Structure 1
């Protein structure tokens, strides 16, 4: 893996973010790398894939601003003739994936001249714009205000307050899927979700098909992808 900025002559490699050389090193992948993998694993998270068939959960079109679009870069990152060619031309792999609902489904890339209202290019000149750590979750059933991923008003440091967990955090999603498994009385799902830790859940047999896809993708097309562990 490489930093997002630098070594621009190295093409098609997995890059990490934050991309700045002075930022702390992480194993978080760049957005383009994550999107490339979503063409194989679908848009579903691991937990959601326990309840929803991934076959119809693939992105059909990616829309980019004209000011940021580079045709050769998009072809290299996402197209069947780019770095994912070893996946696109492997019939045996495709047949094996389809048995568990997965496939390599490349999306189309289109552009728009419409600029995001709060993008760096739309702001006043000489004004530095930075991303906000404030966010909100808004659904028909509940709303949340988050600061740095933690519910507003709850402590995040030095020891996180468990009550500050968002409804869409990994632990709460795990609990929700576990509740559904119990209501369905599905033995395989119950066994998979009834674990002591999230890492143990991910080791369950129900993820076999998805893990095969990720392993094939890493071996054939994205060999520099390093698994992010330790945050389970």
Structure 2
């Protein structure tokens, strides 16, 4: 199922990935790569890399306080060999059924179909479109509150691809996804427009919201990405196997950046037990937070001093420096926002750095 059951979150202590679907692993690896790129810039004394640069003192404001930013010429592109799970792939789920009639759903007790329960699980209620969905899709798997890859990518159109702790170092201004590339066989235009487009469910982002974000000068905005279909299939996709072969999913996740490589199983390093702290990946919560805290101490930027001394991870995520990011998320996930029905996946935020 490639995500951690809600009941197991208190046992993670920041060392286990909550979600290791490929899109999420890629984004987490991207964030850790950026932190290490910032560390290399600080250690070398260089003013810029191929992608990042130091921000000048005159650029630093209370709202946009980060010491680094992407170069203005840089664009970020993402390729996925399958349509992201969740709302962007619901038509594909329906088409894959022998009988495309929506699965029977017990009548709601207090809400009608226009007001479904908070969040929908996996592929259940697949006739309901445009809603936040949880992983996994299998009904016999332990429940989680990990949101679908579609929902997380939709949110990233407002918060950027940066995680909360990475955004303490790097400005979100130029950190938005430009293009999502999908195989044509998994590109359903109506689903893509509904899931991600400004005329789909993201139309719920009002001019008042965007004006408030942009007036604050924090670098946050609504930046829809373009979705481009390509005819070439990934060599190991389900559609690339011979008719006589049966594709088998793998429980292994391969992580690669120019700075490090890892192999993960169950959200931890291959060969380690899931709850062994020695199995912590470089892209897990605790490892990334520690890398940011260590670099903040080296940079000695007044605004960042003390982030490593926060008693718990939840304290680091609630720093005043993240107020603008929190405000954007509150607007988008609130009752009047386009991603309403997004409960927080709580239970793994009370750990500390050793």
How far apart in 2 are the matches of 1:141 and 1:3?
36
Question: Is the 8 Å Cα contact of residues 294 and 308 (structure 2) preserved in structure 1?
Answer: no
- 2:212 and 2:179 map into 1 onto residues whose CA distance is 25
* SS of residue paired to 1:171: helix
**C-alpha separation between the residues in 2 aligned to 1:115 and 1:55?**
33
TM-score normalised to structure 2 length: 0.61
Shift of residue 141, structure 1, vs aligned partner: 4.2
Residue ranges of structure 2 left out of the alignment (5+ in a row): 1-118, 350-354
Partner in structure 1 of residue 182 of structure 2:
64
Task: Say yes or no: does 1:177 pair with 2:295.
Answer: no
Q: Deviations for 1:43-84, whole angstroms, at most 9, x for unmatched residues?
A: 111111110010101111111111111111111111111111
Is 122-131 or 21-30 further displaced after alignment?
122-131
1:132 alignment partner, one of 234, 250, 254: 250
Structure 1-normalised TM-score?
A: 0.90
- C-alpha separation in 1, matches of 2:329 and 2:169: 19
The one of 271, 283, 307 equivalent to 1:153 is: 271
Secondary structure at the aligned position of 1:60 is classed as strand
Question: How many residues in Structure 1 have an aligned counterpart in Structure 2?
Answer: 227
1:166 Cα deviation from its structure 2 partner: 1.5
Partner of 1:95: 211
Moved over 4 A (4+): none
Greater relative contact order (CA < 8 Å, ≥ 6 in sequence)? 2
| Pair 1:128–1:190, CA change in 2 (3 A) | farther
Partner of residue 221, structure 1: 338
Q: Is the 8 A contact 1:15 1:29 kept in 2?
A: yes
The residue number in structure 2 matching 1:5 is 123
- Tell me the distance in 1 between the aligned counterparts of 2:277 and 2:125: 41
Secondary structure (helix, strand or coil) at the match of 2:198 reads: coil
Gaps of 5+ in 1: none
